[in-house]
Structure 1
């Protein structure tokens, strides 16, 4: 017997409630769940407190507590597809604290959640409640059984929705289940559809990569946006198709960036990615043609929405199956880029909506790992291991446990190029966590996925027993050796800490923690580390052309690598290197999950590969700014004399503008070919930054420029370059440009130099 819950035959259950009917803030009617339970072992309970962010007291303030395996049984239509939504409010219920609840949920032969912690998941999303949505078809039974199995302490549920819906997905020869991972109203706002299935669409902007936001657009009231057929209204609401995100009106700018979204998902699953399109701006074929890339693969070369849909204002959607995790990633990268080869009228792209659904694996499971909690939100977290075969998180403690996820690196190459392409590489971080209770505990985490773990024997073999003949540099951390690994197939730089090093364990761990999660064409790549026998060793890609400083001037830097020949870099080469360094630092500031301040930008930390591509290195002093919107991070002053931001030194408040100041010094160093501090010079010339500012005011800046390249520099280029460098050196950080602005200025300098 179906219980009527409102305007249709859906079931909306207010779990643990005793009243016959309750209405939520959207006017939907919810009924008690007790008559659908197979046993009387469960307990109804009421939340001890109400979070002000809850959208409604229904169904969140009541809960059903399970202390043993319990099953709901629901009457359904066996041939229909159903939406199944589970609502969780991880609060405290009488003497039950939901933070200690780990449980599994299964139905119709599918595992929906395994070792699930609503508390950890809600914390990772920084929200008070959760809605997990699944869809199932071809059940071939008039009854749906939904089973909750406590694995640690108890299980609980606040609300259950079961909503029949017509088939809106590609037909399959067998029953399958999917979990909704993302449903984004691209270019539009959050809303809940007023259709019977009440699907929620979220704002896409939090998922956009970097600064390339494009432009949000809405359909003009004079443009009719209408479904091509009555059945199409089941796919998505018209509100989705009436808003969009484009790249903007500047074709020159558009061909130089991708409009990119990054979507975190669970590894080792296949996903259905559904893209919604509707062009309400252009009405002719070949006005806007673009590429569509998903995870480095080109899925559309000539995307023309008007051609697909048959006209202006007509919705259309495309489905793609994407395997994630086979190559060690756990994200879906979606990118759009104009296709100039199609010679469209406008270089632009457009997207209206994104949906991502996880498909069950071969075992019938949809369960992914719990997220890693913030250490600031949970006082006691013990590590749990995860089976590489099944992804099962095993609880190791009766206290709150967290899955220590294997950290993978996801790559995205501009224009859909394959991995290994030299152009346009762009990478993002995935954040993990480790215990900081002891040295051995900290460093042993290297072997759990943060980076490759080398044995001390491998390091000795790679460097000929740490031979002095292999030393290519010496720094505050220790000696750097040139070596080979993997049967001499890969040339590496091996940085070995000296026992008396001033840069110790914290810098060692900081370097691993950051670089194992960051990959970018203009950041040096960490290959692995070794912590055996109290050694602290880091292994990087070998940079064949050494440091930038080595090619600017000889300051007795004690470079022992005889294979590196110092070269007088041309002005164009120097500009390219500065642009590369700025790109790397700009990525740290804006492209990572949390902004990262390098804190030690200098010419010895800008390395050059065999093609003279700049790579920013040495992240031992770097600081992660969780929410740099607070303007600064208070921290002990660290850095290198001559490059140090005076405001940071004065106030001990670190900002991303501290890196801008340091790069300004680097820009002067590159142009003038002299160190930032030279005590042997007259007093007014000792400090490069001060001397440049004084010379610029007096009109003598030209005389400071490296005489080897002075006559080769376009005067307009030099003027713009020096103005850019000096703007970085303002004593007050608020007066300095952002790193993104510095990058744009340097790119403009290069155009002036080559005459574009």
Structure 2
């Protein structure tokens, strides 16, 4: 019914709107400008982490309400603030809020929902309707189902309500009578005046019919900055809207090209177009079809959106010509669901000159008959007009759903896919990384460019499916940890609920008794703790009379659970490679989940990069560690029976043995990759702050190139000696990936490298290393290199470092036997190294090819 991408992003853009201080949100307690920002179920309100003041909702409830106040039992790490989400108003019967408002004034109505457990109220039993005056905003609404389908902890719905004539707005919550024991709840309500930004629109397919949006209430479905980046609400034109990247909605591989206004072009709103229609940032970027006329004539630039069937939608196109100056230079047709909305669109013809914004509204009705719940937007050059350039352009796009004839705006609850229903817990970080939580996220949102994308990733990668307190999986949404603290045990101490896991693990690796584990760790003595992670504590232990091992013990309150435990066993017990950590065995007695690994004497890579008393690693050693980790990942992608995607590549998951050999670890989130007939795996978004592939986040489509992106962050982390996210730095430097990319593109990468490496990396080696990392971080996975190509280039960077250090390159240049630029391997080219998985002969083969004189 709904695609995962649509649900995720249509809700994401609404949720971000609420995390920025709103221009229109005045003092809600005094009702300034008739704005109301209510923290529901709170006795005193408070100020959220972004400085926005919320007040108690108690003064706005009518006397006949039947409600309770409650506090959420669990605070999801992705919540942007405790206020308003940790308190809730719960309604067991129909109840109403009433607000005095200015007559004839449109209103933003925003509703916040956090479907957590509240006392004895199970969020999966909550189904309800919401009615604003005569308009039905939600019907049979289940926040739990939506949270499950979108892998999102909290939900926001935004509506623009028709001007109120009476000077009073009523918002009524009605528990469903179709579900026994159902209740309604809400965490936050906002009612804010807004200007009327709507006008009449032609109904596509009917030349003589007009849809007067001014007489309708609407729900905002999509708001996109086409060809540009995320625009936070604080940068909007006074309407506190959030604009999102359009690329997740593009159909197929035809992405066209993007560009932005030149610095000497001043964009000016013409008479009749208010600045609040769209911010300048929307009009200063664009997407076009590209420079090749023959290609452009044979395809449409197309976006596809999942919507609710049997509603009328208004699609608003924002245009601003940034390049051309004359009429008939760029002319194109506009289509909505295969119907012509506009023939021969000419932006210069409409605007009169370059740099002048215009917008056009078109209405279309989406019925069950065409595509069911899809809305297609397409642009194609108007060949019949014989323009100078066969091309099309678009700067921004908004889609609004109009109420039907009965005043209804409510759609159906989504149906989660099988993948989304997998009971997987999300990777949780160690206490040392706690700065990356909600408050930090709010800071990073205000950062520039790609940092905003990283923050969006941070906010939504923590969504979890947790088990109920009784250990049984909920049918719709699970909000407690997967770990079952109430597992029953027999007198012998063996679990009675883990037989399935035992059977699955049987024969794959050694099964330790709990007594063996306790003996090996001195009964889990705290002095033996060598690390703490999302799964729990890691102990140094001794087994079999003297063999050192690392013993990872699950924390009962950990969000990682039995799925990660099982995945780790099944993955690692079948894999053996020099650059993968070896799993020795496991234990699952007495409610314990314990994994036993080879002991890695030097700890994690991160421990040797920053915030450490360890001596700084020399550049050659850092390169060799990166090469070892790349070999391990390359083996996962190509050397095993199936492609294996690690899904959590980071410096704390690269361990070092006593000989400084790098080994990739922690396979709890790993996935078997796509088959020959697939291009990706659709799955929940999981990973770690600062490392997560933005394309994977946008599309929920996992490929091995997601590991490549994460590894690119690791490369810059190794080079710069700093964490991937550091909120104490200036905004443009918070995200290492964005900051390093910017420096790389501007040719100043050497200025931000680890001070211990200054003057110790030759320029050619640094150039090759920087180019390799940059390619790993490209926006689109198809453009990124394979791990085999990354491996080749890192090997070459090491050869450059060693050869230049010995003077070999200069000598061979003089003899005209070695030309460095000719020998440089392009990272885009296919490399035979992508078939090489053996460490020993691979290094020798590379050395013979790249350095004939040997070392």
The 8 Å contact of residues 219 and 401 in structure 2, kept in 1 or not, is answered as: yes
Aligned partner of residue 278 in structure 2, secondary structure = coil
Does structure 1 residue 362 correspond to structure 2 residue 387?
Answer: no
1:186 partnered with 2:226? yes
Distance 1:166 1:106 in 2: 22
Q: State the match for 1:669 in structure 2.
A: none
Q: Which residue of 2 aligns with 1:147?
A: 172
Please show how residues 28-47 of structure 1 align to structure 2 within 5 Å: 28-39=52-63, 41-47=66-72
Any conservation in 2 of the 1:24–1:30 contact (CA below 8 Å)? Answer: no
Alignment partner of 1:323: what SS?
A: strand
Residues 38-90 of structure 1: CA deviation (Å, up to 9, x unaligned) = 14522222222222323333322222211211110011112011111111222
In structure 2, distance between residues paired with 1:272 and 1:368: 16
Secondary structure class of the residue paired with 2:282: helix
**Is residue 2:90 matched to residue 1:65?**
yes
1:169 to 185, 198, 208: 198
Q: 1:223 is matched with which residue: 251, 260, 265? A: 265
Partner Cα distance (1:203, 1:97) in 2: 36
- Alpha-carbon distance between aligned partners in 1 of 2:396 and 2:376, rounded to the nearest angstrom: 15
| Higher alpha-carbon deviation: 34-43 or 353-362 | 34-43
Out of 282, 293, 305, which is 1:240 matched to?
282
Alignment of 1:92-111 (within 5 A): 92-111=117-136
Partners of 2:350 and 2:356 lie apart in 1 by 9
Q: Could you tell me whether the CA contact under 8 Å between 1:104 and 1:113 is conserved in 2?
A: yes
Q: Report the 3-state secondary structure (helix = DSSP H, G, I; strand = E; otherwise coil) of the residue aligned with 2:379.
A: strand
What does residue 703 of structure 2 align with?
A: 629
Q: Deviations over 1:646-671 (max 9, x none)?
A: xxxxxxxxxx99xxxxxxxxxxxxxx
Residues 525-565 of structure 1: per-residue CA shift (max 9 Å, x gap): xxxxxxxxxxxxxxxxxxxxxxxxxxxxxxxxxxxxxxxxx
**Is 109-118 or 94-103 further displaced after alignment?**
94-103
Match of 2:76 among 51, 55, 60: 51
* CA positional deviation for 1:95: 2.9
- The DSSP-based 3-state class of the residue aligned with 1:256 is coil
Per-residue deviation, residues 261-294 of structure 1 (Å, max 9, x unmatched): 0010001111111111111222221121111111
Aligned to 1:486: none
Change (3 A) 1:204 1:72: same
> Quick one: which of 327, 331, 336 aligns to 2:379?
336
1:614-649 Cα offsets, whole Å, 9 max, x none, are: xxxxxxxxxxx98341479xxxxxxxxxxxxxxxxx
How far the C-alpha of 1:210 sits from its partner, in A, is: 0.8
Among 199, 208, 216, the alignment partner of 2:241 is 199
Cα 1:598–1:24 change in 2 (3 A) is same
* Larger relative contact order (CA 8 Å, sep ≥ 6): 2
- Alpha-carbon deviations, 1:133-172, whole Å to 9, x = none? 1112232111111011111421111111111112111254
Deviation at 1:243, TM superposition (A): 1.5
- 1:304 to partner: Cα distance: 0.9
Q: Does 1:84 align with 2:104?
A: no
Please report how far the alpha carbon of residue 173 of structure 1 lies from its aligned counterpart in structure 2 after TM superposition.
9.2
Per the alignment, residue 748 of structure 2 pairs with none
- Residue 108 and residue 6 in structure 1: after superposition, are their counterparts in 2 closer, same or farther (change >3 A)? closer
Calculate the TM-score normalised by the size of structure 1. Answer: 0.50
Instruction: State the alpha-carbon separation in 2 of the partners of residues 312 and 3 from structure 1.
Output: 42
Q: 1:286 — aligned with what?
A: 328
Matched residue SS, 1:119: helix
Tell whether the 8 Å contact from 2:107 to 2:163 is kept in structure 1 after alignment. Answer: no
Separation in structure 2 between the aligned mates of residue 193 and residue 17 of structure 1, nearest angstrom: 26
| Inter-partner Cα distance in structure 2 for 1:595 and 1:335 | 32
User: What value does the CA root-mean-square deviation take over the aligned residues?
Assistant: 3.5
Q: Is the 8 A contact 1:5 1:31 kept in 2?
A: no
CA displacement at 1:6 relative to structure 2: 8.8
Q: Structure 1 residue 596: deviation in Å?
A: 7.9
Asked if 1:138 corresponds to 2:163, the answer is: yes
- CA shift in 2, pair 1:112/1:173, >3 Å: closer
Does the 8 Å CA contact 1:22/1:58 hold for their aligned counterparts?
yes
1:291–1:377 distance in 2 versus 1, CA, 3 Å:
closer
Q: Is the 8 A contact 2:317 2:361 kept in 1?
A: yes
1:158 maps to 2:200: no
Decide which structure has greater strand share: 1
Structure 2 portions without partners, runs of 5+: 1-25, 201-211, 424-472, 478-671, 679-698, 707-780, 783-828, 838-855
Distance 1:249 1:173, change over 3 A: closer
- Unaligned runs of at least 5 residues, structure 1: 381-397, 403-593, 601-624, 633-655, 658-726, 736-756
Distance 1:12 1:304, change over 3 A: same
Q: CA deviation at 1:377?
A: 4.8
- Conservation of the 8 A alpha-carbon contact between 1:5 and 1:30: no
Q: Distance in 1 between matches of 2:702 and 2:213?
A: 51
**2:299 alignment partner in structure 1:** 257
**Structure 1 contact 183–355 (Cα < 8 Å) conserved:** yes
Q: 1:214 aligns with which of 236, 256, 259?
A: 256
- Cα offsets for 1:554-595 (capped at 9, x unmatched): xxxxxxxxxxxxxxxxxxxxxxxxxxxxxxxxxxxxxxxx99
1:564 paired residue number: none
Alpha carbons 1:64, 1:157 under 8 Å: kept: yes
Conserved 8 A contact 2:151-2:420: no
Partner of 2:355 in structure 1? 313
Distance in 2, Cα, partners of 1:9 & 1:596: 54
* Paired residue secondary structure (1:96): coil
Partner of residue 396 from structure 2, selected from 353, 364, 372: 353
* 8 Å Cα contact 1:8-1:196 kept in structure 2: no
TM-score (ref. length: structure 2): 0.45
Contact 1:184/1:203 (<8 A) preserved: yes
Deviation track 1:679-698 (CA, whole Å, cap 9, x = no partner) reads xxxxxxxxxxxxxxxxxxxx
Distance 2:309 2:476 in 1: 20
Asked if structure 2 preserves the Cα contact closer than 8 Å seen for 1:83 and 1:197, the reply is no
Q: From the superposition, tell whether residues 7 and 289 of structure 1 become closer, same or farther in structure 2 (CA, over 3 Å).
A: farther
1:124 aligns with 2:153: no
Structure 1 position 124, deviation (Å): 2.3
Distance in 1 (alpha carbons) for counterparts of 2:232 and 2:335 = 28
Give a deviation string over 1:678-735, Cα, whole Å, max 9, x none.
xxxxxxxxxxxxxxxxxxxxxxxxxxxxxxxxxxxxxxxxxxxxxxxxx99x997899
TM-superposed deviation, 1:231: 5.3
CA offsets 1:322-359 (integer angstroms, 9 cap, x no match)? 11014242111001111222122222111111111111
Q: Indicate how the Cα distance of structure 1 residues 301 and 31 shifts in structure 2: closer, same or farther if over 3 A, else same.
A: same
Q: In the TM superposition, what is the alpha-carbon distance from 1:400 to its structure 2 partner?
A: 4.7
- Tell me by how many angstroms 1:230 deviates: 7.2
**Distance across 2 between alignment mates of 1:276 and 1:733:** 48
Distance in 2 between residues matched to 1:87 and 1:20, nearest whole Å: 15
Answer 1 or 2: which has greater helix percent.
Answer: 2
- Partners of 1:733 and 1:373 in 2: how far apart? 38
CA distance in 2, matches of 1:198, 1:34: 26
| Whole-Å separation in 2 of the counterparts to 1:631 and 1:216 | 22
Matched ranges for 1:288-437 at <5 A: 288-328=330-370, 329-378=372-421, 400=475
